């Protein structure tokens, strides 16, 4: 990490910290070739959003937590970017909800799966959390997806009723929704297929979205959530951001 | 390159081809850690632009070529991303203008410089072009920049009067402008410091911008160019793109 990223008072600290995490993850073999490009696209949308959590993103985060708290079988899905950027908060969330996390990646190779799984196990030990980590031995398939992209655990993603899949691919999001699950997406592009197709979309940078969610208590009741309204609010916030730039 | 990128009729062909070029360049050690992230940010802005060359980008490209044709000592600067994405067109442009190209990178290491230089020499041979390639033995410094970031060739960047620096860092763009040069930037973000500070900014995807420039003949006269008008037009095109999305 360079000199700027070591100073939390620097205006670009959060952004540089995320880049540093991705670079470290790339060195560990956790990321697909397209991971950095996807992150850069997200950075541009976050820039339009003013790098802040909007009221509608906060509402969506609250609704997401409410659904996860009241799920029968919640599960949190992690791909390479999510593990790189927010493994700790995903583990904290799973620990609080008492649910498993499942490593599930789009471009699946044994090497990348192992790199991600071993990183998560490492962070679990550092944090001292008791969380079931799935992904190493998939025994089921998501209907409607082909080949290794469909692989999942029955006791994790397959049998879940509410699933958090941050930074998810559009096809997989669609397939999960088609299974009748409540699908919660965290995505900086309100126009993406994942953002549109999900049950609940938090249009926010991943670490900020998870901070909102972790701050939401089990007993709290969120305001009424309307998917299209939340997406339109995010779109408008970006238009305003670009207009004022 | 996957199956989609091998089919030129695919709507995402151009975008996937550029990604493929970056991935190949990364494997050759040509790219800094931040290269892919920067490309992803550009993709998002290009998405807002509708992935097309706007009339004002065409005007800027024409003005850029006009200035290069009529320069005393033009030079084309290439960093890792430019070499990866458009080495061939940069060499074609240099050949047509009869000017040198100079490899000049922000995060300079001997390994990356060598990787880029050897790639450009390779492409030069494949294309059969007679172009002077500078960068391997810098003998001058750009005033106002510190350390290896300042290094350049006297017979290239230092003594040039008109310089094309696509995808350039804001500090370096500013330092080149401060030397009194005509600085031509190709940048997808009309709000970036480089785009703002340059003498001429082509707000367009690199390969499209170079295609526009290569199509401009020496004798043609461009329409009057106004820097702020061109930047505002690009900003408006993106606002319209986001608004209609």
DSSP-assigned states of every residue in B90-132: HHHHHHHHT--EEE--SS--HHHHHHHHHHHHHHHHHHT----
Domain assignment present for A19:
no
pLDDT at A176: 97
CB contact under 8 A, A43 and B40: yes
pLDDT of residue A1: 44
Contacts A–B by Cβ distance under 8 A = 71
Q: Is residue B157 part of a domain?
A: yes
Residue A150: inside a domain = yes
* Cβ pair B38:A41 closer than 8 A: no
The residue assigned the tokens 């009748």 is: A180
Distance from CA of A222 to the nearest CA of B (A): 29
Beta strand ranges found along B94-234 (DSSP E): 101-103, 133-134, 140-141, 151-152, 162-164, 182-186, 200-202
Give the per-residue pLDDT at B1.
Answer: 43
Which pairs with CB-CB distance under 8 Å and at least 24 residues apart come from A117-126?
A119/A25, A119/A28, A119/A30, A119/A83, A119/A87, A120/A78, A120/A83, A120/A87, A120/A91, A123/A87, A123/A88, A123/A91, A124/A91
Please state the φ and ψ torsions of residue A182, each to the nearest 5 degrees: -85, 115
> Residue B222: inside a domain, yes or no?
yes
Query: A206, A87 in Cβ contact below 8 A?
Result: no
Contacts of B169 in chain A (CB under 8 A): none
Note the pLDDT tens digit of each residue in B46-93: 999 999 999 999 999 999 999 999 999 999 999 999 999 999 999 999
Q: Tens place of pLDDT for every residue, chain A, 245 residues?
A: 444 556 777 777 888 899 999 999 999 999 988 899 999 999 999 999 999 999 999 999 999 999 999 999 999 999 999 999 999 999 999 999 999 999 999 888 999 999 999 999 999 999 999 999 999 999 999 999 988 889 999 999 999 999 999 998 899 999 999 999 999 999 999 999 999 999 999 999 999 999 999 999 888 888 999 999 999 999 999 999 999 88
Instruction: Record the tokens describing residue B104, joined without a space.
Output: 């000049």
| The pairing of beta strand A200-202 with beta strand A182-186 | parallel
Specify the pLDDT at position A6: 62
Test B43 with A23 for CB contact under 8 angstroms: no
Residue B40 pLDDT grade (very low, low, confident, very high; cuts 50, 70, 90): very high
How far apart are alpha carbons B193 and B204 in whole angstroms? 16
Indicate yes or no: CB of B40 within 8 angstroms of CB of A45. Answer: no
Stronger pLDDT, A72 or B1, i.e. the higher one: A72
- A27 located within any domain: no
pLDDT at B147 over 90: no
Minimal Cβ distance to B242: which of A22, A43, A242? A242
* pLDDT value, residue B6: 62
**Residue B20 domain flag:** no
Backbone angles phi and psi of B152, in degrees to 5: -160, 175
Q: What residues of chain A lie within 8 A of the CB of B243, using their CB?
A: 239
3 state DSSP class of A103: strand
- A31 is a domain residue: no
Range of the domain at A205: 55-244
Confidence of residue B218 (pLDDT cuts 50, 70, 90): confident
Tell me the DSSP string of A146-196.
-GGGGEE-IIIIIT-SEEE-TT--HHHHHHHHHTT-EEEEE-S-TTSHHHH
Residues of A within 8 A of B242 (CB-CB) are: 48, 235, 238-239, 242
Q: What is the CATH number of the domain that holds A108?
A: 3.40.50.12640
Residue A128, burial from CB neighbour count under 10 angstroms (0-12, 13-18, 19+): exposed
Half-sphere exposure of B159 (CA within 13 A, CB side): 11
Q: What is the pLDDT of residue A244?
A: 87
Which residues on chain A are in Cβ contact (under 8 Å) with B237? none
Q: What residues of B are in contact with residue A245 (Cβ under 8 Å)?
A: 191, 235
Number of folded domains that form chain B: 1
Distance (Å, whole) CA A115 – CA A168? 19
Instruction: Indicate whether B96 belongs to any domain.
Output: yes
pLDDT for residue B244? 87
| pLDDT for position A107 | 81
């Amino acid at each position: 990490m360079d000199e700027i990223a070591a100073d939390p008072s620097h205006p670009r600290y959060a952004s540089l910290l995320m880049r540093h995490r991705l670079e470290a993850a790339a060195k560990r073999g956790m990321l697909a070739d397209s991971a950095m490009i996807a992150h850069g696209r997200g950075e541009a949308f976050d820039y339009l959003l003013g790098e802040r959590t909007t009221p509608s993103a906060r509402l969506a985060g609250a609704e997401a937590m409410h659904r996860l708290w009241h799920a029968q079988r919640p599960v949190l899905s992690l791909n390479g970017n999510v593990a790189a950027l927010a493994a700790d908060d995903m583990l904290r969330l799973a620990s609080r909800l008492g649910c498993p996390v499942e490593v599930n990646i789009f471009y699946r190779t044994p090497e990348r799966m192992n790199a991600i799984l071993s990183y998560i196990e490492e962070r679990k030990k550092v944090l001292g959390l008791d969380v079931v980590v799935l992904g190493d031995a998939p025994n089921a398939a998501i209907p409607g997806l082909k080949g290794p992209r469909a692989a999942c655990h029955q006791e994790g993603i397959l049998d879940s009723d509410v699933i958090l899949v941050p930074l998810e691919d559009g096809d997989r999001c669609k397939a999960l929704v088609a299974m009748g699950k409540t699908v919660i997406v965290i995505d900086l592009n309100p126009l993406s297929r994942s953002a549109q197709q999900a049950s609940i979309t938090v249009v926010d940078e991943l670490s900020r979205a998870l901070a909102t969610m972790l701050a939401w208590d089990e007993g709290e009741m969120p305001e009424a959530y309307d998917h299209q309204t939340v997406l339109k609010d995010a779109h408008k916030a970006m238009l305003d951001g670009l207009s004022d730039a």
